């Protein structure tokens, strides 16, 4: 039997879809599987150990960290990371929430906000990880994988690495396949594949980042 992976239907799922080597369930609630894949913020919120960091630069701040700042949906990973960064940099001010990117950009263009935290598929700003690193806090990655069944660890890891290779070798074809599965526009998926750093690494200590994030959950 193939390893069962429960993944959020966002960028973290793309390599699994591209490889097709696991039984993939797109869900953000359950953890009854061999592995769970989600944003690092969501995994911390769910109390799951992050064994592997996956993808980097999925989110960015444009044009730079300032307030008022627009962030996607109150309580989302964008929101949590934005408020954590404001604390880290000692910047006080309002976070204004938007439901879709066009609304967020309208807020920026109209001058109602001075910055926006959004997907790097649509804004070319400063990567969230780089903002944390500049203040001495290592954000492990944008997304992560929590291994629930150690016996399936190697299978899950190999499937993800194969998927990353496919994203690099055939971004157009991979984007088309992924878009049909996650119900997103191909252009968005392709933009994410091209803008994010397609990395995957085993994690050791990310306690400083976790402590900061937990204050804003």
Residues 47 and 74 in one domain: no
Instruction: Report how far residue 103's alpha carbon sits from residue 108's, in angstroms, rounded to the nearest whole number.
Output: 9
Q: Are residues 152 and 197 in the same domain?
A: yes
Return the SS3 of 207. Answer: helix
pLDDT of residue 56: 98
Residue 12: closest CA among 141, 194, 177? 141
- Residue 29's pLDDT is 76
Query: Residue 114's pLDDT is what?
Result: 98
**pLDDT, tens digit, 9 for 90 and up, residues 50-96:** 999 999 999 999 999 999 999 999 999 999 999 999 999 999 999 99
**Count of structural domains, the chain:** 2
Q: Point out the domain boundary residue: 133, 151, 182.
A: 133
3-state secondary structure 108-132: HHCCCCCEEEEECCCCCCEEHHHHH
Do 186 and 206 belong together in one domain?
Answer: yes
Helix (H) or strand (E) holding 24: strand 23-26
Instruction: Tell me the mean pLDDT in the region 110-129.
Output: 96
| Half-sphere exposure of residue 201: CA atoms within 13 angstroms, side-chain side | 13
Q: Is the pLDDT of residue 31 over 90?
A: no
Tens digit of each residue's pLDDT (9 = 90 or more) over 140-163: 999 999 999 999 999 999 999 999
Domain check: are 35 and 63 in the same one? no
Mean pLDDT of 176-190: 96
* Strands in 79-212 per DSSP E: 95-98, 115-119, 126-127, 143-147, 197-202
- Given a cut of 90, whether residue 28 has pLDDT beyond it is no
Same domain for 72 and 102: yes
Please report which helix (H) or strand (E) contains residue 48, including its range: none
Q: What is the pLDDT of residue 44?
A: 97
107 and 160 share a domain?
A: no
Query: Residue 32: its pLDDT value, please?
Result: 86
CA–CA distance from 163 to each of 74, 114, 186, 191 (Å)? Answer: 31, 37, 17, 17
The pTM of the full predicted model, rounded to 2 decimals, is 0.95
Residue that finishes a domain, picked among 133, 166, 183: 133
pLDDT at 59: 97
Confidence category of residue 193, pLDDT binned at 50, 70, 90: very high
What's residue 19's pLDDT? 98
Q: Which domain-ending residue is among 133, 164, 197?
A: 133
- How far is residue 203's CA from residue 207's CA, in Å, rounded to a whole number? 11
**109 and 44, same domain (yes or no):** no
Least confident of 20-34, 81-95, 100-114, 191-205: 20-34
Residues 39 and 145 in one domain: yes
Residues 52 and 67 in one domain: no
Residue 111 buriedness (CB in 10 A; 0-12 / 13-18 / 19+): exposed
**Bridge pairing between strands 69-72 and 115-119:** parallel
Residues 97 and 122 grouped into a single domain: yes
CATH of the domain at 85: 3.40.190.10
* Domain range enclosing 107: 59-133
Query: Which residues 6+ apart lie within 8 Å of 180 measured at CB?
Result: none
Asked whether residue 145 falls in the same domain as residue 187, the answer is yes
């Amino acid at each position: 039997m193939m390893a069962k992976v429960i993944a959020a239907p966002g960028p973290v799922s793309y390599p699994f879809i591209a490889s097709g080597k696991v039984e993939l369930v797109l869900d953000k609630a359950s953890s009854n599987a061999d592995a769970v894949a989600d944003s690092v913020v969501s995994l911390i919120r769910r109390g799951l150990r992050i064994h592997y960091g996956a993808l980097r630069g999925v989110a960015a701040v444009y044009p730079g960290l300032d307030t008022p700042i627009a962030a996607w949906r109150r309580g989302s990973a964008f929101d949590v990371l934005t408020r954590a960064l404001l604390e880290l940099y000692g910047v006080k001010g309002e976070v204004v929430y938007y439901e879709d990117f066009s609304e967020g950009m309208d807020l920026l263009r109209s001058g109602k906000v001075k910055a926006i935290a959004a997907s790097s598929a649509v804004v070319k700003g400063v990567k969230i990880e780089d903002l944390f690193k500049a203040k001495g806090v290592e954000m492990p990655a944008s997304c992560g994988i929590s291994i629930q069944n150690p016996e399936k660890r190697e299978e899950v890891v190999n499937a993800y690495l194969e998927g990353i290779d496919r994203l690099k070798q055939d971004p157009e074809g991979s984007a088309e396949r992924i878009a049909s599965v996650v119900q997103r526009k191909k252009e968005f998926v392709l933009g994410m594949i091209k803008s994010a750093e397609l990395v995957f690494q085993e994690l050791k200590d990310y306690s400083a980042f976790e402590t900061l994030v937990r204050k804003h959950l």
